A and B are shown apart, each in its own frame.
Chain A
Amino acid sequence: EAGVVQSPRYKIIEKKQPVAFWCNPISGHNTLYWYLQNLGQGPELLIRYENEEAVDDSQLPKDRFSAERLKGVDSTLKIQPAELGDSAVYLCASSLGTAGNTIYFGEGSWLTVV
């Protein structure tokens, strides 16, 4: 069974440029998460989807970040414009529901803003 798939794995962009990350969750997982991981820290939740609905986006900086999961499967996370401080790992994860169900992570999209 395929795991959570993310692309691109690595991205280097200049500040003020846009960037987008794509995620395909584990088949059948209705819950999808985007996490931000800064260097030397644990991941922190940006947004959580239940099917196509964003049920928790309280930690998403909405001035420059946006996300969508139009058909309740794949998801895209966008940053526009990117800032130097956005350099981090963007992790996508999925689970079958949320009540105590295990969350599986993708390999991450490693962003460097120069």
Chain B
Amino acid sequence: QVQLVQSGAEVKKPGASVKVSCKASGYTFTGHYIHWVRQAPGQGIEWMAWINTNSGSTNYAQNFQGRVTMTRDTSISTAYMEVSRLKSDDTAVYFCARLYSISSKAFDYWGQGTLVTVSS
């Protein structure tokens, strides 16, 4: 069965960086894009970026360009998202999600979420 398993919760100080992983299983990793979204406490969902797991190409929301980097390691079916220069309002649960298909533009499987807390 398809699974996306994310790394554990993180606590970081303002100005630091955090790298969250998303390990895929149960399907061909390079056959589906991986997206990242985040959800601040009590708030809505904010789309951040996608990575083409086959080519490695990426696209970022304007709000995150220059501060977020997505990478992948196809040998271990894992995608990564790194956020640098953390601020307190980056405190959120970060989710990875699999794109069902290029034509559908929908996210059919999700990771369990990783809470990143930014606090001095």
Partners in one complex: no
List A residues at the B interface (Cβ < 8 Å).
none
